[in-house]
Structure 1
Amino acid sequence: MLTAVRAVRRSLTHFRSLSTSAMASGYQQANVVILPSHLANDFQTFCRSNPAPLPLLYRSQSGESSCPPLARDADIRRDISQYCVFEAGRLVKTVSSLQSYSTEPRAASEQQAAEHGQWSHMVCFYLGCSFGFEGRLKKAGVPVRNVEQGRNVSMYRTSVPCVSVGVFRCPLVVTMRPVPAGMLNEAVQITHLNPLAHGAPIHIGDPALLGIQDLSRPDYGDQVELQPGDVPVFWACGVTAIEAILSSKPSLAFSHSPGCMFMTDIPDSCPSPITPPADPAAPPAAADPDPELTPLCFPVSHNPLFYSLASQRAVGRIRRLETIIGEDPGERGIRALFVQDELLRSCLALSHSSSVAITTGFPTHYMHSPPDETDGPPGAIAMATMLLALGKQVTMITDRRAVEMNQAIIEEAVSTGVLKTAIPLVTFENTSPDSALHFLCHHGDPSKPRYDHLVAIERSGRAADGNYYNMRGINIKHLVDPIDDLFIAAMDIPGINTTGVGDGGNELGMGKLKEKVKNLMPKGGLIACDVAADYAITAGVSNWGGYAVACGLYLLHTCPPHRRYLRKGLGPEPTTSPAQLQDWAANLPSVDKEESVLSTLVRFGIRSGKTGHLAMEVDGLTFHPTHSDIITRLLQATLGPAP
């Protein structure tokens, strides 16, 4: 069927320069780049180094105009409706055929032959195209707006650099298709199964996060309009190869004109690329995708709008972590505050973060010195340990009264090997209306935040009357610095997410659940924190929430769909080395490490929250067997075999 279509295209001039977006439904389409042979090996490596934008279907032999594994009776010099001709990195013209470049003038060398247009010294690269998944989107009921609107797809040059190889260095180019928010999972899962057509999206949400300032002005293609309820979804695009031509400046090169693709005979259900160039005639290799690696889409931020991806396997395990920490052996009624996937979404946001500030400290024992409890610091250190292992910057924010104590706790954690390195410790004073803004952002500029995530774990939170209460309803405001103001200010600063971890409803960040706290928790009307976080993680003991965050981050960073999304499909497909996995696993919480941290706190005079005992317990629950058992089960859910 496609052989006939190609034959008709060759003979009918009115087909020239038409977009192929809605053509050949059910088949893969291909971007085409034709380069001098002396650049071919580097370009092939460039494709392998950037697999999402440049999924390599086939590399031809020098001078080969057919491509047997992709299409029968093809002639690449005539089978595209419009070609671009580049000289010295400049687009000089578009043509409807490359036949005139098949003449063979004499040349002294292979490079000179290619430079003078000898087809026998040109190499064709066929790269996957996102038009190859549009048919399956339509079958699933996902609207394809560019087809609906009769337009070429929108393509944008981003500020994201590809991995460079030799002379090939350029920005990533993406296509944008609007997708209704309620159908994002369908769009992600359908395209994930078609790596030949760029696979799953590499970004969902605000285009500015890719350096795209105006969706109405695409760099290639046509403007495609979003409908009410649509979310902009971005896939890596093969037009990245044209940017590579522009930057590398070969004396002569050709490509398809954006939107005018080569139509192959490969069904759009074919899941694996062809292996070039060892066996150019090899058929596409079949694959049996692991259903547990199917990605799911979750909203992470509304300011700016941003979604992330994680596999069904990782999501299932993180939900298991959430169930474990939701247990309530202390019978405090915390289950009533539970909201599913707050842990998951917080972990996704933290995974995308680069600089995290953590605060803890609940001075519930106002009659003792120090007044703090043993819940909070162990969970904070567990999160910091994993964040540091993943290459994040971490800062601890504490009360002025507790600087010396927390400095000693951090130093002890380093000396015992719990922490790899010391964490900067800072305080916050609200001395002016702009104090919080200047603390959070360089020079008080909201576009230049110092941190992209604030985490409060078992941190005393401000109630509606401006006071701070322990669970007994005692006002402890005189012992608490106004760190809440940072969370309030962060609500209006794009790009800063916040997490609160609590076990009673009076902790910083639990304001997100304040109506539940008021109605369902003892003294809730008085003690409920009024300051919300983007994510409110509830746990039977707050430390458990910190342990679960560390485990969730490990699961995400060993999740192939999430790791691909983090790097926007650029760089070679990561194969995590055993040494890397061992290092990440070594930075998970463990019974030994958490027992060590707790013993340090007790030695410094820090007491159990519920009982006030100076003993190896947290919230009235002894470390053995209660806390040690929870830690063991969290590790089993993270590292053990799938349930």
Structure 2
Amino acid sequence: MIDIEQLSRRVEQIILQHGRRGMDKVYEAMRPGYCGRAARMILDNIGVMLIGTGFPVGCGYESDGPIGALAIYKVLEVLGGRPIIVCAPPLSSILSPSFAVREMQVSELEKSGKFAKEAMTSLSPDLILSIEMPGIASDGRYYNMNKEDISHQTPKFDYFVTQAGCPTICFGDGGNEVGMGNVKEALANIDIIPSITGCDELVIATVSNWGVYGVVAMLCVLTGEDLFSLIDPTSTAEFLVANGCVDGITVRPDVSEDGFPIHVGVSIIAQLRLLVREAS
């Protein structure tokens, strides 16, 4: 019999490697086993599944978030779900030829809230995921890791999470993302302006994409399927960079994520696959 919680803890240690933004300290304040719980939440709510992603950097978006969003999209499809990516231009136009997309505009709070309500009424989601989306701060604004106000360029996905009539899972790696309101006390000692938006299950990792991989690892265990065979972060990163995405740390069009060469994320997947095989 596999001890799911213990295995999830081991998964979480893998996705929190190479930390440099304080998520290891935040982890100490969380209830371990969140990757396993998020995986079970996904399996219990297969249906229409909205995936919000797209953290603005310069005139475009960073690669951390979309890489994970496309990975979980493919996994959810195989599991029988109907995933829909919710994002703003230009990311929406990049993804819409190959993926189901609900485009949202960058607008002020009231319009964003109305859009979210209308979208959820028409789509009736069974589950909402937020992967590296900026979260609103206590002053009603949005900030990047340098504490710069990015409200004017941010798609405000918080309302999908706060108004959801279904379970919500959020992925973050710095404290300023949607969902991080769950650990606001633990973020007090990190030099950021944190998000106050919470969620049902928060998944933290050194890189948000790696958090997605952690949940996929637990889905592999729970389903007995090699879902990692669907994921190729290198080709996904190359596709995104070729279409204008940049590394969120270096702000360069590199095949990397949050300052880590893409091979580091590939190594994280290799470690997770090995752990899954050993546990099976």
Aligned counterpart in structure 2 of residue 586 of structure 1, from 213, 229, 239: 229
Aligned counterpart in structure 1 of residue 54 of structure 2, from 357, 361, 370: 361
Q: Please give the per-residue CA displacement for 1:252-306, whole angstroms capped at 9, x wherever unaligned.
A: xxxxxxxxxxxxxxxxxxxxxxxxxxxxxxxxxxxxxxxx1xxxxxxxxxxxxxx
Structure 1 letter corresponding to 2:197 = V
* Mapped partners of 1:610, 1:549: distance in 2: 24
1:619 matched residue in structure 2: 258
* Mapped partners of 1:515, 1:358: distance in 2: 27
Q: Please give the per-residue CA displacement for 1:371-420, whole angstroms capped at 9, x wherever unaligned.
A: x1111111111111111111011111012453213325xx3xxxxxxxxx
1:324 matched residue in structure 2: 14
What's the % identity of the aligned pairs? Answer: 29
* Mapped partners of 1:388, 1:424: distance in 2: 14
* Mapped partners of 2:246, 2:115: distance in 1: 33
1:635 matched residue in structure 2: 273
Q: Per chain length, whose mean CA-contact separation is higher, i.e. which structure has more relative contact order (CA < 8 Å, sep 6+)?
A: 2
Residue 463 of structure 1 and its aligned partner are, at CA, apart by: 0.8
Structure-2 change in CA distance of 1:389 and 1:362 (3 Å): same
Structure 2 letter corresponding to 1:616 = V
1:566 matched residue in structure 2: none
CA RMSD, aligned part only? 2.2
Residue 423 of structure 1 and its aligned partner are, at CA, apart by: 2.5
* Mapped partners of 1:610, 1:616: distance in 2: 12
2:69 matched residue in structure 1: 380
Structure-2 change in CA distance of 1:515 and 1:637 (3 Å): same
1:485 matched residue in structure 2: 159
Cα contact 2:138–2:196 (8 A) shared by 1: yes
* Mapped partners of 1:489, 1:334: distance in 2: 27
2:41 matched residue in structure 1: 349
* Mapped partners of 2:249, 2:172: distance in 1: 14
Structure-2 change in CA distance of 1:530 and 1:615 (3 Å): same
Cα contact 1:608–1:614 (8 A) shared by 2: yes
Structure 1 residue runs without a partner (length 5+):
1-291, 293-311, 412-421, 443-448, 559-580
Which structure has the bigger radius of gyration? 1
Cα contact 2:4–2:36 (8 A) shared by 1: no
Larger relative strand fraction: 1
* Mapped partners of 2:254, 2:269: distance in 1: 19
* Mapped partners of 2:9, 2:129: distance in 1: 20
Residue 434 of structure 1 and its aligned partner are, at CA, apart by: 5.4
Q: Output the TM-score relative to the length of structure 2.
A: 0.89
Q: Please give the per-residue CA displacement for 1:433-476, whole angstroms capped at 9, x wherever unaligned.
A: 7553332135xxxxxx7112111111111111111100001111
Q: Output the TM-score relative to the length of structure 1.
A: 0.40
Taking the TM superposition and a 5 Å limit, the aligned residue runs for 1:226-245 are none
Q: Please give the per-residue CA displacement for 1:279-335, whole angstroms capped at 9, x wherever unaligned.
A: xxxxxxxxxxxxx1xxxxxxxxxxxxxxxxxxx4444333321221122x2511111
Residue 585 of structure 1 and its aligned partner are, at CA, apart by: 5.5
Give secondary structure in 2 for the equivalent of 1:396.
strand
2:249 matched residue in structure 1: 610
2:196 is the counterpart of 1:522 = no
* Mapped partners of 1:313, 1:457: distance in 2: 27
* Mapped partners of 2:209, 2:112: distance in 1: 33
Residue 540 of structure 1 and its aligned partner are, at CA, apart by: 0.6
Cα contact 1:386–1:553 (8 A) shared by 2: no
Aligned counterpart in structure 1 of residue 212 of structure 2, from 546, 550, 563: 546
* Mapped partners of 1:471, 1:433: distance in 2: 24
Residue 520 of structure 1 and its aligned partner are, at CA, apart by: 2.1
Cα contact 1:400–1:481 (8 A) shared by 2: no
Structure-2 change in CA distance of 1:464 and 1:377 (3 Å): same
* Mapped partners of 1:485, 1:465: distance in 2: 16
2:180 matched residue in structure 1: 510
Structure 2 residue runs without a partner (length 5+):
none
Structure 2 letter corresponding to 1:550 = V
Give secondary structure in 2 for the equivalent of 1:441.
helix
